[in-house]
Amino acid sequence: MTRQEKSQVIESLTAQLTDSTIIYLADISGLDAGTTTNLRRACFKAGIKIAVVKNTLLAKAMESADKDFGNLSDTLKGNTSLMFSETGNGPAKVIKEFRKKSEKPLLKGAYIEEAIYIGDDQLDNLVNIKSKEEVIGDIIALLQSPAQNVISALKSGGNTIAGIVKTLSERQE
């Protein structure tokens, strides 16, 4: 790879790192071609972009990006695959599901909305992260809950009063 090609790759990686708020680093070394293809398909279905990158080029792109990746660059040893996603827990779910059949991929680290997670032991924490849509849904459900309680109380009270009035009117006859 020529120096010009390397600089183009670094520029492209820097742009992707700058534009993305959810970045996962994984180790997929040791996977055969068929298993790697299955992983790529699983990522595609989940809306995740996956690419294998050279560690030195990724390290330079991380330095050039206007984000603080903290200790994430320390994980750049061995084979590294980059995963970009729109949902915070998407890649973690794909990795966890895929590991039911295979030992890999291993999570090296993740950058999610300025939070940094390092190590494969963080996978369960990342799976449990709620997406923006899920959090909004939870908030709406919490806001609707008191109103629904009041409405159901009024409805049930109305039925009770109607029942009492009907019973009293039948007694007087």
Going across the sheet that includes 115-118, the strands are 49-53, 80-84, 22-27, 106-112, 115-118
Let me know whether 77 and 151 are in one domain: no
- Tell me, what's the pLDDT at 49? 92
Domain housing 151: 130-173
Let me know whether 138 and 61 are in one domain: no
Let me know whether 125 and 99 are in one domain: yes
Let me know whether 91 and 116 are in one domain: yes
- Tell me, what's the pLDDT at 44? 92
In this prediction the pTM is 0.72
Distance CA 59, CA 88 (A): 22
Let me know whether 65 and 146 are in one domain: no
Number of domains in the chain: 2
* Each residue's pLDDT expressed in tens, for the chain with a length of 173 residues: 788 888 888 888 888 888 888 888 988 888 888 888 988 998 899 899 998 888 888 888 888 888 888 888 888 888 888 999 888 888 888 888 888 888 888 888 888 887 888 888 888 888 887 777 778 888 888 887 777 776 776 666 656 666 777 777 777 65
Task: Kindly report the CATH number assigned to the domain that includes residue 41.
Answer: 3.30.70.1730
- Tell me, what's the pLDDT at 159? 63
Distance CA 75, CA 15 (A): 21
